[in-house]
Amino acid sequence: MKTLHLLRHAKAVEDNPGGTDHVRPLAKRGIAAAKALAQHLVDSSFTVGRVFCSTAKRTRETYELIAPALEGASIAYRDRLYLVSGSDLLDFIQGLPDAADSVMLIGHNPTFHNMALMLAKNAARGHADELAALKEKFPTCALCSLNFDVDHWRQIKGSAGTLTAFLRPRDLDGE
């Protein structure tokens, strides 16, 4: 069994005068959402073995805010996750180390949304509403978790995953 968590970076500032897209920082709303997500992860005893993060400033800042909730997970930053194409992201996933049964990727839309839709065959019992929400939108700081009944990451292909969670910042309001 392999578990993939796709985390879209938290909300970034719209304009970064004098800077490129790659160096856009998080907005105040994004910081608040990432902190709320981190608290939820702690409260739910979330675990993950490895984290791979885009090198964009907004993804690195998102990771830094949730890192305390990911006790013991090793982190690696990868340029190839910045604005990655769908086929390259699937190649990246299929090349993940088999020693890691649970991996989180932190990156960008529209690729993360398209990948989640492509991989999610169905929803685990009690998660049909989350699958419907995923089909509509993959907002900033949303976390999609998929289980795959495979022994090796290279065996992952389209429509092979079961959605076990889709958590959006608005789902954390009131926690």
pLDDT level of residue 175 (50, 70, 90 thresholds): very low
- Say yes or no to pLDDT of 88 above 60: yes
| Residue 91 predicted with pLDDT over 80 | yes
Q: Locate tokens 């964009």: which residue? A: 56
In Å, how far are 75, 112, 125 from 169, measured between CA atoms? Answer: 23, 16, 22
Distances (CA, A) of 173 to 35, 57, 154, 166, 167: 12, 25, 37, 15, 11
Give the bridge partners for 175, in sequence order.
Answer: none
Least confident of 13-17, 58-62, 71-75, 132-136: 13-17
pLDDT of residue 155: 97
Query: Looking at residues 64-69, what average pLDDT do you find?
Result: 96
> Are 142 and 128 in contact, with CB atoms under 8 Å apart?
no
Q: For tokens 């907005």, what's the residue?
A: 27
> For 128-132, what is the mean pLDDT?
93
Dmax over CA atoms of the chain, in Å, equals 48
SS (H, E, C) 107-152: ECCCHHHHHHHHHEEEECCCCHHHHHHHHHCCCCCCEEEEEECCCC
Give the residue-averaged pLDDT of 118-137: 92
Average of per-residue pLDDT across 82-109: 96
Give the pLDDT of residue 47.
94
pLDDT on residue 48: 97
Lateral strand order in the sheet of 50-54: 74-78, 50-54, 102-107, 2-8, 143-148, 161-167, 120-123
Q: Does the bond joining 110 to the residue before it have cis omega, within 30 degrees of 0?
A: yes
Residues 9/56, Cβ–Cβ less than 8 Å = yes
At 27-50, the pLDDT tens digits run 999 999 999 999 999 999 999 999
* Of 17-31, 39-53, 62-76, minimum mean pLDDT range: 17-31
The one-letter code for the residue type at 140 is: T
Percent of the chain with pLDDT over 90: 86
For 2-172, CATH number? 3.40.50.1240
Kindly report the backbone phi and psi dihedral angles of residue 124, in degrees, each rounded to the nearest multiple of 5, phi listed first.
-65, 160
Q: Is the pLDDT of residue 126 over 70?
A: yes
Q: What average pLDDT does the chain have?
A: 94
pLDDT of 174 strictly over 80: no
